[in-house]
Amino acid sequence: MKIDQKYGFVLLRVALSLVFLWFGINQLYSPSSWLGFVPSFLGAFAAPKLFVLLNGCVEVILGMLLLFGFYVRWVSLILGIHLIGISFSLGYSAIAVRDFGLSMATISLFFFEPDKFCLELIDKKDSEEK
């Protein structure tokens, strides 16, 4: 039985995008629930609730781009680096270790070519045909 590796990439891309969308949407709907995760040094710049809302917006936008397959390589790199920052800000804990593993999985998407289900490729095919 031959296993087609391209479906593994699609599954990884979609699953990770859903993780970022879930967290981003939850931060937008209930920012006060996430205030405990905002590093204290950020409070010197603006209200912690503002950072939660901005982070939620960024995660929803980038999660949608990743889900639909636009700029997958760069979006995954940005999200992976973002998640590394979050995991290090949490210190050594189970949540930080989990987030670090998710960040490595997200960054791994950077090293793949976009899959055939990415809208980025469909858009390129349409423009090449014209």
Q: CA 13 to CA 70: how far, in whole Å? A: 11
What total of structural domains would you count in the chain?
1
101: tokens are 């593993």
pTM summary value: 0.84
CB 85 within 8 A of CB 37: no
Q: What angle do CA 85, 101, 30 make, to 5 degrees?
A: 60
DSSP-based three-state secondary structure for 30:
coil
Q: What does the pLDDT profile of the chain (130 residues) look like in tens digits?
A: 566 777 888 899 999 999 999 999 999 999 999 888 787 777 777 788 999 999 999 999 999 999 999 999 999 999 999 999 989 888 888 989 999 999 999 999 999 888 787 887 765 655 555 5
What residues contact 42, with CB distance under 8 A and at least 6 apart?
48, 51
Q: CA 16 to CA 2: how far, in whole Å? A: 25
Q: CA 20 to CA 7: how far, in whole Å? A: 20
Range of the domain at 70: 5-129
